Structure 1
Amino acid sequence: MGFLLLFYLIKYIISLQANDSRLKIGIIKAAPNCDRWIEDGNWIYAHIVARVEGRDEPVLNTYNDKPMYLMVNNSKFIPGFNIGLRGACEFETRRITIPPELAYGDKFVDGLFGPQATWTVDAEILEILKDISI
């Protein structure tokens, strides 16, 4: 019972963060059951498709190659991506729409994305690895 309460509390906190920052988290495909969900510091194995406002082609699409391992709440990723992954279930596919203030803000890369760009990231969570060093 405490497990379910904690799970729903995490989901509620994520929704509050999303409302406060214009971050949007949607579920494209729900997990059949949610026995494992993502917490900060977990490694995940996932397919990622990242798109940026103003570009037709994805910036990253692991479906063209193979899934990737990544650690959640890693400083290498934009804050909105880390926040958007928290609470996702194993086997869930999420769409995270990340506003500029939780992405790159005023920064830009010529030919890739401009300042104040909104990002959309689809993440298909294939596996959650709680205790691993990669």
Structure 2
Amino acid sequence: MKVSTTKFLAVFLLVRLVCAVDSGQLRIGITRKVPPDECVQKTQSGDTVAIHYEGSLEDGTIFDSSYERDQPLEFVLGSGQVIRGWDQGLQNMCIGEQRKLTIPPDLGYGSRGIGPIPANAVLGESIIWIDLKKDTNSASFQGRIGGYQEKR
């Protein structure tokens, strides 16, 4: 039986991709980079961060969006307040940077799922870090949010 090189490579790459996601590998893509001279601080565990995000399933179905609520999410990074994929995938991020995370089930909601998220779902998260401030009602904070939303 003769198998073409193209078919073999396609199957090989597909198997590697499926195995990478199933094995719990978090994938981080940077969709908007901040120039190094403009990155005054990077996120680290223990920081209180405010982010805007849009969460989707593999098929593109959006299950949650802070943009829809016009309210950023604030949490302490690395504290377990959010899914592990976020705690890991948002480390070393600059203000204004945007990332696309592909989160395997074991770093998301696992075998239990939650609400519109089925069990063992791979999650796609588009996230922009807005600020380190705790006071998300301040005028300067709201002004920065508006600027980042316009760039979205």
Q: Above 0.5 in TM-score?
A: yes
Q: What is the aligned partner in structure 2 of residue 88 from structure 1?
A: 93
Aligned CA-pair RMSD = 2.4
Residue 6 (structure 1) aligns with: none
Which runs of no fewer than 5 residues in structure 2 stay unpaired? 1-20, 137-152
- Correspondent of 2:27 among 21, 24, 36: 24
- The number of aligned residues is 112
What is the aligned partner in structure 2 of residue 72 from structure 1?
77
Q: Which amino acid aligns with 1:82?
A: D
Q: Of the two, which has the highest radius of gyration?
A: 2
1:115 aligned partner: 119
Paired letter, 1:46 = I
Q: Is the 8 A contact 1:52 1:118 kept in 2?
A: yes
* Matches for 1:1-134 after TM superposition, within 5 Å: 21-32=24-35, 33-54=38-59, 56=61, 58-64=62-68, 65-109=70-114, 112-129=116-133, 132=134
Q: How much does 1:53 deviate? A: 3.1
The alignment's TM-score, normalised by the length of structure 1, stands at 0.72
Tell me: CA distance 1:133–1:67, structure 2 relative to 1, closer, same or farther (3 Å).
closer
Q: Structure 1: any 5+ residue segments left out of the alignment?
A: 1-17
| Alignment check: 8 A CA contact 1:34 1:90 kept | yes
Three-state SS of the structure 1 residue aligned to 2:131 is: strand
- Equivalent residue letter for 2:45: D
Q: Partners in 2 of 1:104 and 1:97 — Cα distance?
A: 13
Shift >3 Å, 4+ stretches: none
| TM-score, normalising length: structure 2 | 0.64
Q: Which structure: greater helix fraction?
A: 2
1:119 positional shift: 0.8
Report the Cα offset of residue 55 of structure 1.
Answer: 5.8
